[in-house]
Amino acid sequence: MTTESPPSNSQHDVMWSHWPHDLPNADLLKHLVEVFFTFQPHANKLFHVPTFMHSLSLSPTHPKFPAIPVLHAICAMGSLYTAAVTSPPDPDFNQVAPDEIFLERYRVKEKRVDSFAEVQAKLAKKTAEELHSLGEQLLQVLQTQIILTWFYWSHGRWVDIFLSSAHAMRLSVPLGLNMCPPFHSITNSTRPASILAPARTVIEDEMRRNAFWLAYACERQHGLGNGWALSLDDQDVSQMLPVRSDQFLHGTLVPPAERQWAHSRDVLLVHPPAQIDPFVLFIKGTILISRVKAFNLRFRAKHFSGDPSVANAFDGISPHPSEPIDPRGSMAFVELDEIVVSFRAKFPRNLKDPINNNVVDSHLYTTCLMPLVATIVLHDPHAEVRQSGCISALKILAAARAILDLIYAVQSTSFDITLLDSFCTFAWFVSGRVLVRFLQAAIDAHSLEQMPILRAEIDYVHDAISKVGRRIPLAHRYAKMLEDLLVKSCGLAPSVPIDMPFPRPLEPLAIQSMFYESDPNRCVSLHDALHEPGSFLSLA
């Protein structure tokens, strides 16, 4: 859904004499703010909307008027949802690869002026840096960085996403947002736990907490797609989970004794009804994928140091010569795998389905994708699709097809899928990559029965990503990346239309033919993991 140009209400608006000259006029700004809060799935968690809209009605010189970088960032992000301003054109894949990291190399060669969205993003970054250096309006600087990260991710600007999300995460630490009393450091320090003044209201306190969790979500969700360390260790997060959305809106005080803490051992499997809603589950899902990334990232180092949690009874007899240690027998892997499997099953009954009566809950839909992606990331390095009965191979195929079911479910509604969180198209792309891997195996084994089925599934994923790509440049890139991967791995064989019922079945006997040993004369490795060495964008 794209809105048209805003109507002019100039006769009702106050014309301020000191309007910031780099901001659009008041009518256009209000329009961009409104579409931002209407269509950006997390906007009403990052800000308390009634308070923000009131502050926007004040004079630009009023101390409660929104910080200028916040408004620039909202203008940049809001440009995705309206035809009233210009956005960057889609990339020319004849000139730049869809997975290119350093897009600025090509941008400087383009003979065009910056779009409205690009100008506003640059102004947001510049003005935020000015406030940051002065130590002023630091919470709004953090909010700006979060919005910019959303903008960069939507546009597939990989370097900017990485740096902006890391900046937001690191800034949250001196602001004291990664922890909450009584879990502050026991060190005697000349610096306070937070350089922010104490929150004056419940709403302000919860908005700060939401800002931290949204910064955390940005970095964790994007970071799942690469093998690089994150900016803040989960062990340094001692913060309460957000309150429910209705409690945030009404400024309801919920004391710590009635809250869940992120570092509680059972936080991912216990969901007290009075403390849970789709956004809280969204944050829990993000904690889950963060744990999966941390396990993969640190396994070898922990094993080397003798950490008992990764000790394995099967050490030395791994099925893969290139990896003498099989993590799947370790206590840490087994425990994490069980949490991943149980995560969604433990949801309260009223929150098990993200789609009810044709209404899609964006946060819950995204959350339902998270354990499936976590399963793929956890098991993919160990999946051997040539071996009959490989549990990791079956798990990643089951997860990929479960993602396919969720794609079908959301497309069966009237919901505009271009308004989903960026993580959704990332998850769909991950599913597509797994299916390509199995199609490659089926071709290698001459499985005439499975080849058209897998190809149809891949085409379905590709078509869904392409639909999102009509608005969101990130999805446009993912669609091209999946297309290129399919051609590279499986050739140019045309797809054959077949009837594809949903939900997708997982029948081990039906896919048995894909596990036969491949032709040794083919230069194809069916054990290539999704995280290819040296590839920053192997998933992201």
**Residue 326 and residue 84: Cα distance in Å, rounded?**
55
Triad 454, 457, 463: Cα angle to 5°: 140
**Residue 432 and residue 403: Cα distance in Å, rounded?**
9
Residues 6+ apart with CB under 8 A from 436: 458, 482, 485, 486, 489, 490
How far from chain centre, in Å, is Cα 264? 23
pLDDT reading at 10 higher than 50: no
pLDDT reading at 334 higher than 80: yes
- Tell me how far CA of residue 343 lies from CA of 108, 349, 368, 411, in angstroms: 46, 13, 9, 24
Q: Which of 137, 164, 138, 141 is nearest to 153 (CA)?
A: 164
Phi and psi at residue 370, to the nearest 5°? -65, -50
> Could you tell me the pTM of the whole model?
0.90
Tell me, what's the pLDDT at 321? Answer: 54
**Residue 91 and residue 190: Cα distance in Å, rounded?**
50
pLDDT tens-place string over residues 366-408: 999 999 999 999 999 999 887 777 899 999 999 999 999 999 9
Mean pLDDT of 142-159: 96
Q: Name which residue leads in pLDDT, 104 or 468.
A: 468
pLDDT tens-place string over residues 269-326: 999 999 999 999 999 999 999 999 999 999 988 888 888 898 875 555 555 555 668 8
